[in-house]
Amino acid sequence: MNEATSVSAKPEQPARHEFGSVPFSGRPDALFERHLLSDAVVEPSTAYDRQRFEALARSVRDLLSRRWIETQRTYDQQNPKRIYYMSMEFLIGRSLANNVMNLMLKPFIERTAHEGGLDWLGLVEQEPDAGLGNGGLGRLAACFLDSMATMQLPAMGYGLRYEYGMFRQSIERGWQREHPDGWLRRQDPWEVSRRSQFVEVALGCTFEMHRGGLQIVANRPSTLIGIPYDRPVVGFGGKTINSLRLWSATAQDAFDFQEFSSGDFVGALVGGIAAQTLTRVLYPDDSTEMGQGLRFAQEYFLVACSLADLVRRFRRDNRDWNLLPDKVAIQLNDTHPTLAVPELMRILLDEAHLDWEQSWGLTQRTLAYTNHTLLPEALEKWPLRYFQQMLPRHLEIIYEINHRFLSDVRRRYPGDEARVERVSLIEEGPDNKDKVRMANLAIVGSHSTNGVAAIHSELLRTTTVRDLAEFFPERFNNKTNGVTPRRWLLLANPALSGAITGAIGDGWTTDFDKIARLKPAAEDAAFRRSFLQAKRDAKARFANWLKSTSGQVVDPDSIFDCQIKRIHEYKRQMLNALRIVVLYNRLRANPALDMAPRTFFFGGKAAPAYRLAKLIIKFINNLAGTIDGDPAIRGRIKVVFLPEYCVSLAERLMPAADVSNQISTAGFEASGTSNMKFMMNGALTVGTRDGATIEMAQEAGEENLFLFGLTAQQVVDSRGWYSPYWHYENDTETRAALDLIASDYFSRNERGAFRLLHDTLLKHGDHYMHLADLTAYLEADRALCSLYADREAWARKAILNVASSGKFSSDRTIAQYAREIWHVKPCPVA
Ligand SMILES: *Cc1c(COP(=O)(O)O)cnc(C)c1O
């Protein structure tokens, strides 16, 4: 593809429009008052903060609505190839400040706020996080929407409108407690319900509420209704406003009130309740199999609603079904929407009445799949039983796909039945426990399979789905993840952003490769000073926020050492905790030890059913309490577990971080994205050679990170003989740390509380090889601390990291998807 027609990662600079000119329709101050008066019906001077937030958000929505319509009309008129990003999760966070920034409205809003005596930052705090995701996968989807809109790509996100998003976390006596997140309890000012565009979803079964749970009732076909709710996705500069369309489930009977008079009244009501239960709650687990039928039904509901919607749009604008892959690119974010393969086949075969060959070609050329994990327990496999009960026609189609595919495999590898068994879409189990392998279905039914970092794509190809990669080598590719530098740097870190713009201009916001121009500034003493000042200010701001919201006091002159991410054994929060126990032992043994004061921040949620992950949270909290209670150590090291890790907490902490811990067992973290957010914000990385951290080191130079520990290859090679006992016997500090945990030193009134942790690390073989990496981690830690003592050298490295983070903009990632997978070009709005 030549340069002129290809997508570049460099959208043009947005225009700085004045008010009264296009494209806005109104003034913020007048709109704001009108919303308070006519929506909330309150005297503006007596309104509550929440009412003010709603009125302000509504005003911003008014300002963008014309442009939103204009964008959609442009797509309808120009009929470009469109991208549909299908995902069970969108971890959006808050929208007000981000939309105001992207619309370039900040000066106007701040003036309005100032003149009206409003506390702008306080109003921003009124917005709940839209927590419709578990972690990295959902946040990636949100960053991608931002990049696609900024790059003026004709795109739409499809997801589910969960009434309850990710649970809210509190800590009680050190333990995680989960609370429902009723983020829609109060009307969300951004969403627009499009009831007239409802779709019907036919199922081979119905659902009933039974003892508080949803039960499948087989052989009773039913129809669900999907109602779309659209949210604006504002591109930076406000030129393109795409939509995120979230589906809400309701029953036909609840939707169509006429049914009540004719049908079974009670049955209709129960049906309605059961149907609404379908989009009630996000499953709070991002990496383990959960054999629940409700989740399966949710996945089908997303796929069926979205495909019906996009096929209707396609048919409105195109006569010929053969144009489908020229007009539609569907990206499946992990296997969760893989039922799109048999669903699209069903539409083409049964509704369009095309033949098999034609339907199959169109399906494959339209769909593309992104893999997010190598953990075998996280590869989705659904019991055949669910298909038999809910989707019998889809099962027929899957059997036919499998039959044809396995014939091809047998032709290419005659007599290799072991291979046939490995690649089959069906995993055979004893007494009708067969399962459908969703990753295999996604790979066979699409034209592209990508991993999310170079090492991950490589391991995917050579280990996890090796046979399929051998069969379809041309389908496999890599798209290293990225994050949007607008939310994660420009919005989250105004002080550093200002310093960067002062040094290199503001082109970096939409052309993040330009951040490389900051490299010479690492050698500029004045810039180093402003970098250190921005960091110090951000740390003080974070410390103030923490004190005012939780009463906890931290020292902004200590090293802020952070690990925030889902709690999981492979991410090894426990390795970090062991490091702290060793440092604590050193201080106890030698109080005169010269050690810079440090604050260790942890944050993250554990899946409610993941016992060990919850125990790790408890351990971190007890470790924090023990250290706080030790007068000899207090003030030298401190551990803080930040409850309720979410997008807005990440935005707060990133600017304040000195050190980023990315310490997964090598070969287990697909990419990671918090590593990138920290890098852009000038934190130094201590980490293993895993995921995208490897590419960060390539960009910045290994000497500017603190890498340590086993490589992915070494992890695999030592699996057979690795013994944690060797380290226990031979590393004295490791032994002392484990013995201290075993002695109930951190659980004095809770005897044996951490036995399971201790046993996992020692008796049960330490699957994630914590002990193998602990001494190397401590060595890296020592190097890091001695660098910190030299403020100039530290600033130099940190600035070089920021300057080397250009690759990790999601604009670059999206440009690659658009060019190499989707073949979609920008469709600018006039
Ligand atoms: C970026 C982000 C993640 C992903 O973090 P990793 O360290 O890459 O797992 C998870 N949750 C939130 C809220 C994030 O912002």
Percent of the chain topping pLDDT 70:
93
Residue 519 has pLDDT above 50, yes or no: yes
What is the band of 292 on the pLDDT scale with cuts at 50, 70, 90?
A: confident
| Residue 647 in contact with ligand 1 by CB distance below 6 A | yes
| Side-chain half-sphere CA neighbours of 422 within 13 A | 15
Residue to mutate, 168, 452, 565, 808, ligand 1, most ligand atoms under 8 Å from C-beta: 565
The H or E element containing residue 68 is: helix 49-78
Q: Distance between alpha carbon 66 and the CA centroid of its chain, in Å?
A: 30
- pLDDT 10s digits, 659-708: 999 999 999 999 999 999 999 999 999 999 999 999 999 999 999 999 99
Task: Say if residues 618 and 594 touch (Cβ distance below 8 Å).
Answer: no
Mean pLDDT in residue range 523-536? 98
In tens, the pLDDT along 534-582 reads 999 999 999 999 999 999 999 999 999 999 999 999 999 999 999 999 9
Beta strand 684-687 pairing with 706-707:
parallel
CB distance 391 to 203 below 8 Å: yes
- Cβ of 565 below 6 Å from ligand 1: yes
Cα distance between residue 680 and residue 806, in whole Å: 9
Q: Where are the alpha helices (DSSP H) in 445-599?
A: 454-459, 466-471, 485, 494-504, 525-550, 573-589
CA 417/CA 405 separation, integer angstroms: 13
- Kindly list the structural domains of the chain, giving each domain's residue range(s) and its CATH number in brackets, ordered by start: 295-479 (3.40.50.2000), 485-809 (3.40.50.2000)
Element at 437 (helix H, strand E):
strand 435-437
Instruction: Identify the residue with better confidence: 736 or 379.
Output: 736
Instruction: Measure the CA angle with vertex 546, ends 542 and 551; round to 5°.
Output: 150
- pLDDT over 50 (residue 590): yes
Query: 492 in ligand 1 pocket by Cβ < 6 Å?
Result: no
For the cut 80, the answer to whether the pLDDT of residue 254 exceeds it is: no
pLDDT of residue 169: 97
pLDDT at 253: 58
| Element spanning 343, H or E | helix 340-346
Q: Determine the pLDDT at residue 8.
A: 56
Residue positions annotated with a catalytic role: 372, 565-566, 571, 673, 677
What is the pLDDT, as a whole number, of residue 269? Answer: 55
Q: How far apart are the first and last CA of the chain?
A: 25
CA 220 to ligand 1 center in whole angstroms: 42
> Atom 3 (ligand 1): residue with closest C-alpha?
136
List, in order, residues 6 or more apart from 361 with CB less than 8 Å away.
Answer: none
Instruction: Provide the pLDDT for residue 111.
Output: 83
Full DSSP string of 790-830: SHHHHHHHHHHHHHT-GGGBHHHHHHHIIIIII--------
Q: How far apart are CA 471 and CA 469, in angstroms?
A: 5
Which numbered atom of ligand 1 lies nearest the CA of 566? 9
Confidence at 25, pLDDT banded by 50, 70, 90: low
Side chain identity at 2, as an amino acid letter? N
Q: Which residues does 513 contact at the CB level (< 8 Å), separation at least 6?
A: 9, 10, 806, 809, 812
Q: Is the pLDDT of residue 19 over 60?
A: no
Q: Which helix H or strand E contains 733, and what residues bound it? A: helix 732-742
pLDDT at 259 over 50: no
If one counts every other C-beta atom within 10 angstroms of the C-beta of residue 353, the result is 9
The model's confidence at residue 377, banded by pLDDT at 50, 70 and 90, is confident
Please give the pLDDT value at position 11. Answer: 52
Closest ligand 1 atom, residue 646 Cα: 13
Q: What is the DSSP letter of 607?
A: -
Instruction: Please state, in angstroms and rounded to a whole number, the distance separating the CA atoms of residues 147 and 826.
Output: 12
What's the average model confidence in pLDDT over 471-488? 98
100-109, 238-247, 757-766, 782-791: least confident range: 100-109
Q: What is the pLDDT of residue 212?
A: 60
Which atom belonging to ligand 1 lies closest to the Cα atom of 649? 13
Mutate to test the pocket of ligand 1, among 90, 452, 642, 674 (most ligand atoms within 8 A of CB): 674
| Average confidence score pLDDT of the chain | 93
- The structure's pTM equals 0.95
398 has pLDDT over 60: yes
**Cβ-contact 695, 674 below 8 angstroms:** no
pLDDT band at 251; cut points 50, 70, 90: confident
Classify the phi-psi angles of 124: left when phi > 0, otherwise alpha if psi is within -120 to 50, otherwise beta: alpha
Binding site membership of 101 for ligand 1 (Cβ less than 6 Å): no
Question: Is there an atom of ligand 1 within 6 Å of 118 CB?
Answer: no
Query: Residue whose CA is closest, atom 11 of ligand 1?
Result: 135
Mean pLDDT of 755-768: 98
- When pLDDT is averaged across residues 152-180 and rounded to a whole number, the result is 97
Is 294 a residue whose pLDDT tops 90? no
